[in-house]
Amino acid sequence: MNALTRTDFNFKGQKSVYHGKVRDVYNINDEYLVMVVSDRISAFDVVLPKGIPYKGQVLNQIAEKFLDATTDIVPNWKIASPDPMVTVGHFAEPYKVEMVIRGYLTGHAWREYRAGKRSLCGVPLPEGMVENQKFDHPIITPTTKADQGHDEDISREEIIRQGLVSEQEYIQLEQYTQQLFSRGTEIAASMGLILVDTKYEFGKKNGQIYLIDEIHTPDSSRYFYMNGYEQRLKNGEDQKQLSKEFVRQWLIANGFQGKEGQTVPEMTPEFITEVSERYIELFENITGDPFVKANINDLTRRIETNVNQFLAQQ
């Protein structure tokens, strides 16, 4: 199974490289970032031992489509995608917060609500809501952007008080977040989907705010199927999701939730193939486009050649 689980490139002008859970980001002369979306897969803050073929291509090309579809709202970091698994873009200084926006009471927000909290990141939550219910208006629940460990919920007031973002710029980030979520909601609806919640990251270059990183992928967003949503809500049933939730559920069913002493269950070739096919299904459902598998015989050489050719032209 050909999957890209590690990169160790040395591009011309390269100053540093950051290896994240899924993405490897190469800094080219503090001018460009080369983001390689690997086939690694993580759950419960753990990178699983085997990669998923085509997963990196799926995530990169979904993000590429949505970045291109939102340039009228906010400039974004993308310059080009010289390889199916790579985006090259502007080097921007990231803000130290992630803008999480929620249209529905689910996931982390529901767990907090179920525990009795009626305020999330300083946003009041009404009484009497049920899991997966739609909010009257989408709410923004930012988190800190942790270099290590978990991101933490934080309120707008605390972000401004700590000087993480100036008040004027934070108001602008909120406006961009609402507009991006509205656009994502419209596009999802045209595909028969509900964009439930997502997160956006922003950076700054030469005084200009840019949308950075990925956008509206199943790793950063949660989608429900529109068909049957109301009936499942009324019956108190789980919603049919379009996300990597199925991987988390498989892990839970096999006794793994990332806790100390637990072992990741064996990822058989059959399971890996199934996950790969599910990611391709995600791509086609979210974008409405057929997925075209790139040649994965020699991924490292392919990526290196494509990126070097692009950088040589800059």
Instruction: Quote the mean pLDDT of the chain.
Output: 95
- Which of helix, strand or coil describes residue 242? strand
pLDDT for the residue numbered 242: 85
**β pairing state of 134-140 and 193-205:** unpaired
Considering Cα of 139, then 213, then 86, then 187, what sign does the dihedral take? positive
Residues 6+ apart with CB under 8 A from 220: 198, 199, 213, 214
CATH code that applies to domain 94-242: 3.30.470.20
What is the Cα–Cα distance from 56 to 279, expressed in whole angstroms? 10
Q: Where are the domains of the chain?
A: 14-93+270-312, 94-242
Provide the whole-model pTM: 0.92
pLDDT for the residue numbered 304: 97
pLDDT for the residue numbered 291: 98
Q: What is the pLDDT of residues 150-190, one digit of tens each?
A: 679 999 999 999 999 999 999 999 999 999 999 999 999 99
Q: Point out the residues of the chain with pLDDT beneath 70.
A: 1, 146-150
Other C-beta atoms closer than 10 Å to the C-beta of 311 total 18
Nearest C-alpha neighbor of 18 from the set 31, 34, 39 = 34
pLDDT for the residue numbered 166: 97
Assess contact for 288 and 191: CB atoms under 8 A: yes
Instruction: Please name the CATH architecture into which domain 14-93+270-312 falls.
Output: 2-Layer Sandwich (3.30)
Give yes or no on whether 14-93+270-312 and 94-242 have one common fold: no
pLDDT for the residue numbered 248: 87
- Of the chain, the percentage scoring pLDDT greater than 70 comes to 98
pLDDT for the residue numbered 237: 96
What b/e string do you get for 68-82 counting C-beta neighbours within 10 Å, with b at 16 or more? ebbeeebebbbeebb
